[in-house]
């Protein structure tokens, strides 16, 4: 049984009398377990995020062409190059190797001190091995305005990889110094938990994009593309991505979001992990202080998939709305 962010605990109980240390609550006859549901502390979480995160978020630079992004139907693995100011919340996580800095993962700025990324980027590398670079565009040249940061603290979700590989694939990076926001460096908004919950019913109104420096095909050597590429993706309910030649039911949890294209034409690939799945709502109203319907917000973090661009196997992304409470506890 899987607890989501709207539930506080999983209570085990028995139809017969167990040891007192195991009995936390009585259950109806013959019920072995139940989920104890409480009112989701949306107001408390939103208030914490509002006080801890920037009031202004999700804004792109003026040179970003609206049509350039939304009309692009090409995938990252072969898609079009993005302008430098198109995704100002995007950062590269550079590994220190042989005296050089090499792109390994991506991340998303949510404040001047905190960056979200995929937890699996730290499975084989310590936080001290990374440099976080904001304002990056072309990896091979210095375009001016890039900002490098060491990681002060690494917060990996406490249930990362529990029960299912890549489950709860989320990490929060606290930087040693504060990011300086400018035309090319801005924080992303977080999703409205009241509007975009764990279910799928409001996702149809979203226009969503992926972006990253990842490789251009599944068969390419693990060398990042010099400049980030991006494209539009579709969002799918989990049931659509489960089945023959897709994912098994055990592989897709409530903390994952399925996005891409069932025909395999749009997808992330090696080197895109930790990057943003950012959406814009067509709705004209929003009740959340942590996001705005007229701006972009972070719906997911690039997590994993079966190859790149395979038919019937869209990518899987960490569903940020499930982790807002944990994020608020870390940054608050």
Q: What is the pLDDT of residues 7-33, one digit of tens each?
A: 444 444 333 333 333 333 344 444 444
CB atoms within 10 A of CB 201: 9
Is residue 293 scored above 70 in pLDDT? no
The pLDDT of residue 84 is 80
Cβ-contact 149, 176 below 8 angstroms: yes
The answer to whether residue 177 sits within a structural domain is: yes
Cβ-contact 273, 121 below 8 angstroms: yes
| pLDDT single digits (tens) 148-161 | 999 999 999 999 99
Question: From residue 247, how far is each of 142, 190, 243 by CA, in Å?
Answer: 41, 27, 6
- Phi and psi at residue 278, to the nearest 5°: -110, 140
CB atoms within 10 A of CB 255: 27
Is residue 168 scored above 60 in pLDDT? yes
Active-site option among 169, 192, 261, 272: 169
Q: Which domain holds residue 165?
A: 80-284+293-331
The answer to whether residue 326 sits within a structural domain is: yes
Active-site option among 103, 120, 137, 157: 120
State the average pLDDT over residues 84-96.
93
Is residue 42 scored above 60 in pLDDT? yes
Of the ranges 176-185, 233-242, 259-268, which one carries the lowest mean pLDDT score? 259-268
User: Average pLDDT over the chain, rounded to whole?
Assistant: 79
273 noted as active-site residue: yes
The pLDDT of residue 171 is 99
- Phi and psi at residue 42, to the nearest 5°: -60, -45
Of the ranges 93-107, 170-184, 224-238, which one carries the lowest mean pLDDT score? 224-238
What would the 3-class secondary structure string for the chain be?
CCCCCCEEEEEECCCCCCCCCCCCCCCCCCCCEEEEECCCCHHHHHHHHHHHCCCCCCCCCCCCCHHHHHCCCCCCCCCEECCCCCCCCEEEEEEEECCEEEEEEEEEECCCCEEEECHHHHCCCCHHHEEEEECCCCCCCCCCCCEEECEEEEEECCCCCCCCCCCCCCEEEEECCCCCCECCECCCECCCCCCCCCCCCCHHHEEEEEEECCCCCCCCCCCCCCCCEEEEEEEECHHHHECCCCECCCCCCCCEEEEECCCCCCCCCCCCCCCEEEEEECCCCCCCCCCCCCCEEEEEEEEECCCCCCCCCCEEEEEHHHHHHHHHHHHC
Residue 88 sits in a domain whose CATH number is 2.40.10.10
Cβ-contact 112, 186 below 8 angstroms: no
Residues 6+ apart with CB under 8 A from 152: 174, 175, 176
Residues 6+ apart with CB under 8 A from 83: 61, 63, 64, 65, 68
**How far apart (Å, rounded) are the C-alpha atoms in residues 254 and 303?**
14
pTM: 0.81
The answer to whether residue 16 sits within a structural domain is: no
225 noted as active-site residue: no
The answer to whether residue 279 sits within a structural domain is: yes
More confident residue, 100 or 313: 100
Residues 6+ apart with CB under 8 A from 313: 241, 245, 246, 247, 264, 305, 306, 307
Active-site option among 5, 85, 127, 273: 273
| pLDDT single digits (tens) 254-276 | 999 999 887 776 678 878 899 99
The answer to whether residue 272 sits within a structural domain is: yes
Of the ranges 72-76, 190-194, 200-204, which one carries the lowest mean pLDDT score? 72-76
State the average pLDDT over residues 51-55.
93
The answer to whether residue 150 sits within a structural domain is: yes
The answer to whether residue 54 sits within a structural domain is: no
Of the ranges 15-29, 110-124, 212-226, which one carries the lowest mean pLDDT score? 15-29
- Phi and psi at residue 97, to the nearest 5°: -140, 125
More confident residue, 269 or 171: 171
Number of domains in the chain: 1
273: exposed, middle or buried (Cβ count in 10 Å: 0-12, 13-18, 19+): buried
Cβ-contact 269, 169 below 8 angstroms: no
pLDDT over 90 percentage in the chain: 48
66 noted as active-site residue: no
The answer to whether residue 53 sits within a structural domain is: no
């Amino acid at each position: 049984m899987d607890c989501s962010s709207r539930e506080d605990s999983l209570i085990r109980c028995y139809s017969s009398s167990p040891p007192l240390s195991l009995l936390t609550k009585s259950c109806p006859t013959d019920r072995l377990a139940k989920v104890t549901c409480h009112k989701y502390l949306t107001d408390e979480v939103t208030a914490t995020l509002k006080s801890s995160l920037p009031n202004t978020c999700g804004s792109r630079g003026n040179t970003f062409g609206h049509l350039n992004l939304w009309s692009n139907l090409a995938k990252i693995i072969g898609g079009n190059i993005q302008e430098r100011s198109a995704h100002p919340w995007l950062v590269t996580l550079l590994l220190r190797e042989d005296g050089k800095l090499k792109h390994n993962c991506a991340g998303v700025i949510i404040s001047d001190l905190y960056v979200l990324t995929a937890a699996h980027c730290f499975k084989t590398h310590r936080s001290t091995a990374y440099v976080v670079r904001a304002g990056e565009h072309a990896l091979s040249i210095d375009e001016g305005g890039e900002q490098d940061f060491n990681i002060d603290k690494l917060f990996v979700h406490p249930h990362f990889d529990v029960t299912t590989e890549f489950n709860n694939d989320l990490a929060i990076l606290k930087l040693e110094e504060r990011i300086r926001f400018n035309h090319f460096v801005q924080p992303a908004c977080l999703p409205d938990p009241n509007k975009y919950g764990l279910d799928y019913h409001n996702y149809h109104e979203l226009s969503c994009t992926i972006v990253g420096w990842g490789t251009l095909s599944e068969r390419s050597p693990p060398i990042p593309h010099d400049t980030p590429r991006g494209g539009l993706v579709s969002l799918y309910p989990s049931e659509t991505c489960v089945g023959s030649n897709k994912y098994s039911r055990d592989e897709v949890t409530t903390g994952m979001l399925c996005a891409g294209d069932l025909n395999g034409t749009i997808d992330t690939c090696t080197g895109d992990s930790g990057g943003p799945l950012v959406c814009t709502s067509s709705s004209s109203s929003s009740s959340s202080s942590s996001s705005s319907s007229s701006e972009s917000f972070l719906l997911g973090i690039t997590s994993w998939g079966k190859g790149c661009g395979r038919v019937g196997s869209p990518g899987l992304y960490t569903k940020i709305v499930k982790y807002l409470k944990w994020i608020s506890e870390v940054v608050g």
